[in-house]
Structures are given as C-alpha cells and as structure tokens.
Structure 1
C-alpha cells in the first residue's frame, strides 16, 4: 500500500504585537525548528503576522471613536502586509529553502480599492516558494468588525498537496455550518482551523468538525502575555487590569474520528508535532461521508457564490 504520511507542526506562540518584524523573525525561527524535526506542513495561528490585539478597545464605544484608538489602528495598518508583497516573498524563500508547506495567519491590507481596509487572512505557501492561495475570514466576530472587512466566496481555498487536500476556516467561521459544508465539498483531508478562542468549548468544536468532515483538524492558537504588548500603545491601559496571560493557547491536532492526535497545549509557548496517516481519511468515511453517501441532494442543496465581489465594476456605457 502506498504510504500517505505527513508530519505536521502546529506553532503556539505570539510576536510583539503590531510589529511585523517580530512576527517574521518568530516565523523564521519556529519554521526552522519545526523543519529540523521533520515537519512538512507548518501551521501558524490566526493573524500571527502582526498579532491578535486581544483586550484592546481601540478607543471605541457605540456611537464614538477617539483619537488614541485611531493611532493604534494606524499602527496595526502600518504593520499589516500586502498580498503578494515583500513579506510573502520572504516566506516563500523560507518555505523553498526548507522544502515545507507554510500556512500562516496574517493581517492583509487591501491594495485594490480603498487601501484602508484590513482583512483577517490565511496564506498558503508551497515548498517551491509560490503563494498557492489565501482565505479571507468571511465574518469578523463581534468587535473584530471594527478592524477587519468581510471576505467573500472567492477565497474558499483548498490546495492540493502530495499527501492530501489542505484548507480551512478561521476561528468562529467554523461555527457556520454552510461554510463548513462548502469546504467539505472540496474534498478536504487536512482542515486547518487557526483561532483566537482558548476556551474549553473550542475543543468540542474542532473534534466535532473532525467527526463531521471525516478529516484531520489542525487547530492553532497564540500563547500571548502582556509582555508581548508594547507599553507605548495609545490604548495600553485597556489591558492593565487583565491577567498576565492574555491567551492560554489550546492548539491541538484531531484525527478523522474525533480522537486527539496531539492533546491541547495550554499556558506555554510550544510546537506540537504529529505524523498523520492519510489512509485514515477514507477509512473514516466508510460509514459517514458528509458530501457523499451520507448526503441527500434530493432534499438539501447548498449554492456557493465563489465570484470575487468588487465594489466598483467597469460596465459598457448604455449611452451612444
């Protein structure tokens, strides 16, 4: 039987917030460490580049924003990246040097229209150094909507690799049943789920996805402390009364029958490494295949709009 094994690494860490140089440095170091242990697919958390601003209010209340919050947002904007761009090229060179696939959560700065909007994005980089695709979070959660715009169906990305199909959704997108079904229909084998949710209930979510999609689930969260927050942030006082540990992590890897391949890691920085046997995916679908023999297209159908949604479209004039 042909071997379909892949060694996966899940990085649980955090950069200095709003500092893309810090994030790029940590990505370089931790990718090299994981590759030295044989990892072929290396996954970083949600918006690792340049960080998830947990606890910051950006000077916002319902009906008003203040000048200090706008300063912090501009700092976030300045440290976001463009796709394609310099940072993506650097990650491509790293992936090619080490011969690995990289999946990295980034803050993406729009370059097509306003150039002011940011997106919560996953990028997929191949071992030949090419950008294989990206996914923009469809619905930022709660106050995240002040920071990031909404993605569209054009970035429901799944990539082909020698060991299987890889794709995923970001954090609470994974609570959207129709979004999950759209991903399952793409034949996903390894489902990445970068998150900022460190609660116990998140573990129930990723184990359910594994059982439902009959796929491996690779979930990745940041381990962040106050030490990763620059004290010169205009809104630094927002976190002064918080605990020292701002995000405890909880990264984990789950098999296609819902069992842990790597148990959740809490309250420390680290890298989870596991070898996945992709033969387990078709074995698990013997009795349940959500888009195959366990679907009922005569009863249920899902229509997915994967067209890019442009705010401005050039159309031919109706005037002669």
Structure 2
C-alpha cells in the first residue's frame, strides 16, 4: 500500500440553521474549527446540511396537485441552496483552509448552468488549501425526495487520492445500489463516507456491511434535528403538526474495515464523533477478501460505468 499518513476524522452530527444558508455556513465554520482543535484532518458533514434536509415536509404536494403555500416554501429552499461555484463555496474553501482540513460538505446544489431551479443532493470536497476538489451528485433521490432533487450522473463519482488515503462518498440510499458501491471499490476507496438522513437501526447494518465488503473505513454521518429547529414562518409549517419532537435522532457512526465500530452510533444529541484510522488495517482486512483483487473474478464479472457528463443541450450551439 502507498505510504499514507493515518488521518483523524471528525463526523459532525448536527443540524444547520434550517432554511437559512448564511447562518448555517457560520455554524459549519464553528463546528469545523472545533473539530480541527480536536486534531481532525478530515471533517465530514451530513446529507444536505446546507440549507436543510427538509424531513417531514411535502411542500404542499400530493399526486395531481400542488399548493401555493408549498410553492412558496420551495422558493425559500431554492434561494437558500448552494450554487457551485459561488461566494458560498469560496467561504467553505476558506473554512477548510483556515482549519487545515479536508472538508466534505453535504449541500442542496442549485444548478445555475442549465436550470436555476433544478436542485441536486450533492457532496462537495475541499482540500486543506481551500480548493474545491470536486463533487458527487446523488444518483437517485429516494421516494418523496424526487419532489425536490434531480438525478446526478456518472460524471460526479470521484475518489480523491490524498495524503490520508483515497476518499469518496455515496449519499444515503445510494449505498443500497450494489453497482454504485462496486464502482467506488474499483476506484480504490479507502475512506468511504456515507452522509445520510437515515436514522434507523437497520442503517447500522449497512455501514458495517460496506466496511466489510469494501475493506475500507466507513463514516456514516447524520443530522440531529428537533421540530423546534424548523422556522415557524414556513408556509406549510402545519405539515409538521403531527411530527415527533425529535425529527432526526442521529445514529452517526464510524466503522473499521472488518465491520467493527471505532465510534459507536450516537443518538439523541448533536455531537462531533472523532477517531484516528490505522490504514494498515485495510491491508490486514484484505488478506482474506479483496473485492477488486483476488476475490473479484474478473473472468466472470465486469463492471461498466458511464462517466460521461449528461448535458441537456450539449448537442446545440
């Protein structure tokens, strides 16, 4: 294995200032600084931390009908989403640079090139010098998420080779897509990030399975959110009337390449989960199982991934 430096990673289990991009960026800066002070080299935030994962909301939509109030809340969600690149991504780069960390941030991305209102569930990767290394767009929003997010394509499935190992991410239920995981393994991912909104106990089995299947370190990162954190001036706030007080109870955890917890799941609070990876454990784990090496059987199975960027008007001048 390449001579990497063992990294310290921080998984940020926290809520943003929901539907307020400016204040959420400020909170992200504070939390990143706190993680860096604890020795973090890599800092990971949850799915759609900016500006919110709008759990419990339907934006006034039922099959065959939408409401004006729901459209109003969607406007607010769009206006607080993140254009890439933008002043907001420059600020995130400054956070990474000021704290000398790799910063991995879950956002809702607004596509300013083709459609100013099409949104994507995206993960951004920043290096310690503040550079935006790239992004991953969620390939398939789940269930009602399709109301608010479009689909990513194969052009944003990066794995970055860093001094701390090869880092990549899949978002939430993308991690149930076997071929998406196989694509990550084929790129040699060693630090596999799984920002999510899934707080179920069964999600823990997924994190541990991926670690064992990919023989990689896995950090699952979720938000902790209460109903009281939602702005009461949302047009569809009444949608939350019957929602539980604890909207997302967390469940962030960090797992080693043999499926053992390095940090047990955290429930019921905002918390920074932090640990140091011994990258030699990847080599030890691959002694008896290497999914893209001696266990791959490439004579039988082959994986094809279309990594071409799909642009709606690419054939027009």
- Is the shorter-chain TM-score for this pair beyond 0.5, marking a shared fold? yes
Unmatched runs of 5 consecutive residues or more in structure 1: none
Mapped partners of 1:137, 1:187: distance in 2: 20
| Cα distance, 1:152 vs structure 2 | 0.1
Q: What is the TM-score normalised by the length of structure 1?
A: 0.97
For residues 159-238 of structure 1, the aligned pairs below 5 Å read 159-238=160-239
How far is 1:3 from its partner? 7.0
In the alignment, the residues of structure 1 paired with residue 17 and residue 304 of structure 2 have an alpha-carbon distance, to the nearest angstrom, of 41
Quote the Cα distance in structure 2 between the aligned partners of 1:3 and 1:140: 34
2:24 and 2:95 map into 1 onto residues whose CA distance is 14
Question: For the residues of structure 2 that align with 1:104 and 1:198, how far apart are their CA atoms?
Answer: 19
Give the Cα–Cα distance (whole angstroms) in 1 for the partners of residues 91 and 63 of structure 2. 40
Aligned residues: 316
Question: 1:313 Cα shift?
Answer: 1.8
Task: State the alpha-carbon separation in 1 of the partners of residues 232 and 19 from structure 2.
Answer: 12
TM superposition shift of 1:5: 1.3
CA contact (8 A) 1:158 1:167 kept: yes
CA displacement at 1:22 relative to structure 2 = 2.1
* CA shift digits 1:198-241 (9 cap, x unpaired): 00000000000000000000110000001210000011111111
Contact 1:4 1:279 survives alignment (8 Å): no
- Residues 203-282 of structure 1 mapped to structure 2, 5 A cutoff: 203-282=204-283
Q: What residue is the counterpart of 2:107 in the other structure?
A: 106
Partner Cα distance (1:75, 1:18) in 2: 7
Contact in 2 for aligned 1:14/1:223 (Cα 8 Å): yes
**Cα distance between partner residues in 2 of 1:3 and 1:173:** 28
CA deviation after TM superposition for structure 1 residue 194, in Å:
0.2
Partner of 2:153: 152
Distance across 2 between alignment mates of 1:152 and 1:62: 26
How far residue 4 of structure 1 moved from its aligned partner, in angstroms, is 3.1
Which of 53-62 and 236-245 deviates more?
A: 236-245
- Structure 2 unpaired stretches of 5+: none
1:13-44 deviation per Cα after TM superposition (whole angstroms, max 9, x unaligned)? 10121111121011011000000011010000
RMSD: 1.2
